[in-house]
Amino acid sequence: MRNVFWAVLTLAMVCAQPARAQREKLSWDDRVAVEKAWPNAIKSSTGLRYLVLKEGTGDARPEAGDLVSVLYQGRLLNGNVFGESLDRAKPFKIRVGRDELIAAWEEALKQMRVGEKRLIVVPYELGYGTRGDPPRIPRRATLVFEIEILGIRKE
């Protein structure tokens, strides 16, 4: 009986501990640059940072399997552009939830609505990882995207 009491007490103490903050996903230099450039960016629990540049409309948000039409520009933290699709007549189309996107895009798109434009700052773990995507994206690169959802086609 005594052992049960101590086990329950120990379990209660462990459960009462506050949740520890997740470790910073950006390197020191990248974090300093990001906080200087975008001091009001919101940081998600995964380490993704974002700013809503333009509010969207409606309630619909992309879900797994939906075809999403977007305009985007991707650049390195130093400003070098590595990819973009900015032509409204020919937007970039991608399916959400089909392992076709980097984790940061999956997270960001699922929170956005049609017409919304966001700037996202992507730690390498949510982007192209430790290997990068040579020659455009170096190893462990922090990425910056501006993404605007033009349309969502439910599937």
Tens digits of residue pLDDT in 26-44? 999 999 999 999 999 999 9
Domain ranges of the chain: 23-153
CA–CA gap between residue 130 and residue 139 (Å, rounded): 5
User: Cβ–Cβ contacts within 10 Å for residue 55, how many?
Assistant: 9
Terminal Cα distance for the chain, rounded: 57
**Residues of the chain scoring pLDDT < 50:** 8-9, 14, 17-20
CA–CA gap between residue 105 and residue 86 (Å, rounded): 17
pLDDT at 110: 96
Instruction: Please give the CATH architecture assigned to the domain spanning 23-153.
Output: Roll (3.10)
CA–CA gap between residue 72 and residue 34 (Å, rounded): 19
